[in-house]
């Protein structure tokens, strides 16, 4: 009698185990702040981040042009912290293999990243989920 009941309790516990957090999907930059000043999105192209489990790629997307990858790397999520480490950057190589920690929050379809970059800039970025 007790063995089947214990088995059902263990099975129910495993079924309701919380999923590992992930940012998986495509996100588009929709504005933010740098050092308290507004940082609107570009008007001639879109910035997109494509997250998979544990890694990301960032692209400049312009109509009629192939997507231009400008950054990629790895990320981990722990509680309310997103730690990103670039492994590729089209421009400056200063942040390659430097981990930047952000406070992150996903509210409905918006990813909010708050943090301080290694150069000292304080950023607050808003990314809208596309898929």
When pLDDT is cut at 50, 70 and 90, the band that residue 6 belongs to is very low
Q: What's the pLDDT at 1?
A: 52
Q: Is residue 11 part of a domain?
A: no
Q: What's the pLDDT at 15?
A: 41
Q: Is residue 86 part of a domain?
A: yes
Res. 92: pLDDT tops 90: no
CB atoms within 10 A of CB 90: 12
Res. 9: pLDDT tops 80: no
In this structure, is the dihedral angle defined by the CA atoms of residues 126, 83, 22 and 70, taken in order, positive or negative?
positive
Q: Is residue 7 part of a domain?
A: no
The predicted model gives 50-76 an average pLDDT of 97
**25-34 and 68-78 beta bridge pairing:** unpaired
For residues 50 and 52, give the distance between their C-alpha atoms in angstroms, rounded to a whole number. Answer: 7
Q: Is residue 38 part of a domain?
A: yes
Which structural domain range is residue 45 located in?
Answer: 22-129
Q: Is residue 102 part of a domain?
A: yes
Res. 3: pLDDT tops 80: no
pLDDT tens-digit readout, 21-46? 789 999 999 999 999 999 999 999 99
- Cβ atoms of 41 and 60 within 8 Å: the answer is no
Q: Any idea what the CATH number is for the domain that residue 68 is in?
A: 2.40.128.490
Average pLDDT score over the chain:
88
Question: What pTM was computed for the model?
Answer: 0.81
Q: Is residue 71 part of a domain?
A: yes
How many domains in the chain? 1
């Amino acid at each position: 009698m007790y063995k089947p009941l214990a088995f059902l309790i263990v099975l129910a516990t495993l079924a309701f185990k919380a999923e590992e957090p992930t940012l998986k999907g495509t996100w588009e930059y929709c504005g933010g702040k740098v050092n308290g000043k507004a940082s609107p999105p570009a008007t001639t192209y879109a910035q997109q981040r494509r997250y998979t489990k544990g890694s990301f790629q960032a692209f400049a997307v312009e109509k009629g042009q192939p997507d231009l990858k400008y950054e990629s790397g790895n990320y981990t999520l722990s509680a309310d912290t997103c730690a990103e480490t670039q492994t590729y950057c089209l421009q400056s190589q200063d942040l390659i293999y430097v981990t930047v920690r952000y406070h992150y929050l996903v509210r409905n379809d918006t990813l909010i990243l708050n943090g301080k970059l290694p150069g000292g800039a304080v950023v607050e970025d808003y990314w809208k989920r596309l898929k």
